[in-house]
Amino acid sequence: MARPTIAYVCAACGGESAKWQGQCPQCGEWNSLERREAGAAPRAGSAAGGKPGRAPRAPLAPAVALPTEGLPARFGSGLAELDRVLGGGVVPGSVTLLGGDPGIGKSTLLLQVAASVAAEAPVLYATGEESGAQVGLRARRLGLGAAQLRLAPETDLEEILAQARDARARLLVVDSIQTVQLAAVASSAGGVAQLRECASELVRFAKSTGTAVFIVGHVTKEGAIAGPRVLEHLVDTVLYFESDAGSRFRIVRATKNRFGAVNELAFFAMTEGGLREVANPSAIFLARPEQVAPGSVVMVAREGGRPLLVEIQGLVDPMRFGNPRRVAQGLDSNRLSMLLAVLHRHGGLSLQDHDVFANVVGGLDVRETGSDLPVLLALASSLRDRALPETLVAFGEVGLTGEVRPVAYGEERLREAAKQGFRVALVPRDNVPRRAIDGLVIRGVGRLAEAVEDAFGR
What one-character-per-residue DSSP string does 417-434 give?
A: HHHTT--EEEEEGGGS-S
Task: Flag whether pLDDT at 452 surpasses 90.
Answer: yes
pLDDT of residue 198: 94
Q: Count H helices, E strands: the chain?
A: 11, 21
Averaged pLDDT for residues 251-277? 90
CA distance 25 to 4: 23
pLDDT at 365 over 90: no
Between the CA of residue 243 and those of 98, 139, 240, 364, what are the distances in Å?
A: 14, 23, 10, 9
Cβ-contact 133, 147 below 8 angstroms: no
Mean of pLDDT values over 234-242: 93
Cα separation, 192 vs 179, in Å, equals: 12
* Paired sense of beta strands 354-360 and 326-329, if any: parallel
**Sequence-distant contacts of 43-49: CB under 8 A, at least 24 apart:** 43/2
Residue 193's pLDDT is 87
Report in angstroms the alpha-carbon separations of 327 from 144, 310, 332, 357, 391. Answer: 44, 19, 9, 5, 27
At residue 62, the pLDDT reads: 73
Write out the E strands in 84-122: 95-99
In order of start, what are the domains of the chain with their CATH numbers? 5-38 (no CATH), 80-279 (3.40.50.300), 284-457 (3.30.230.10)
Q: Residues of the chain with pLDDT > 90: what percent? A: 60
Q: What pLDDT score was predicted for residue 61?
A: 64
What confidence score (pLDDT) does residue 55 get? Answer: 53
Q: Containing H/E element for 81? A: helix 80-86
pLDDT at residue 50, rounded to an integer:
46
- 283 has a pLDDT exceeding 50: yes
DSSP state of 217: E
Residue 38 pLDDT: 54
- Rounded to whole angstroms, how far apart are CA atoms 389 and 381? 11
- Categorize the per-residue pLDDT at 18 as very low, low, confident or very high, splitting at 50, 70 and 90: confident
For residue 82, what is the enclosing H or E element?
A: helix 80-86
pLDDT interval class at 2 (50, 70, 90): low
Does the pLDDT of residue 356 top 90, yes or no? Answer: yes
CA distance 361 to 286: 8
> Quick check: helix, strand or coil at residue 58?
coil
Least confident segment among 110-124, 126-140, 278-292, 440-454:
278-292
Cα(244)–Cα(18) distance, rounded to whole angstroms? 45
Q: Could you tell me if 324 and 354 are in contact, meaning their C-beta atoms sit under 8 angstroms apart?
A: yes
Q: Are 428 and 441 in contact (CB under 8 A)?
A: no
Q: How far apart are CA 102 and CA 62, in angstroms?
A: 49
**Count, residues in the chain:** 458
387-426 pLDDT, tens digit per residue, is: 999 999 999 999 999 999 999 999 999 999 999 999 999 9
pLDDT digits (tens, 9 = 90+) for 70-90: 677 899 999 999 999 999 999
What is the per-residue pLDDT across 102-156, written as a single tens digit (0 to 9) for each? 889 999 999 999 999 999 999 999 999 899 899 999 999 998 876 789 999 999 9
Model confidence at 53: pLDDT above 70: no
Query: CB-based contacts of 441: which residues, under 8 Å, 6+ apart?
Result: 423, 424, 425
Average pLDDT for residues 315-330, to the nearest whole number? 91
Helix axes 192-209, 157-167, angle to 10 degrees: 10
Give the Cα separation of 85 and 253 in Å (integer).
7
Mean pLDDT over 199-210 rounds to 95
Lowest mean pLDDT among 77-91, 163-177, 192-206, 232-246: 232-246
> Mapping DSSP to helix (H, G, I), strand (E, B) and coil, where does residue 7 land?
strand
| Average pLDDT over the chain, rounded to an integer | 87
Q: What is the pLDDT at residue 42?
A: 41
Q: Which amino acid is at 21?
A: Q
- Confidence bin at 51 (pLDDT 50/70/90): very low
CB 294 within 8 A of CB 385: yes
Q: How confident is the model at residue 41 (pLDDT cuts 50, 70, 90)?
A: very low
Per-residue pLDDT tens for 89-103? Answer: 999 999 999 998 888
Those residues whose C-beta lies under 8 Å from the C-beta of residue 362, and which sit 6 or more positions away, are 244, 249, 284, 285, 310, 311
Residue 187 has pLDDT above 90, yes or no: no
pLDDT, tens digit, 9 for 90 and up, residues 252-263: 999 999 999 887
Helix/strand/coil (H/E/C) assignment for every residue in 127-158:
ECCCCHHHHHHHHHHCCCCCCCCEEECCCEHH
**Is the pLDDT confidence value at 39 over 50?**
no
- CA distances 140 to 34, 103, 108, 135, 174, Å, are 47, 18, 12, 9, 20
- The residue type found at 453 is E
Distance CA 166, CA 159 (A): 11
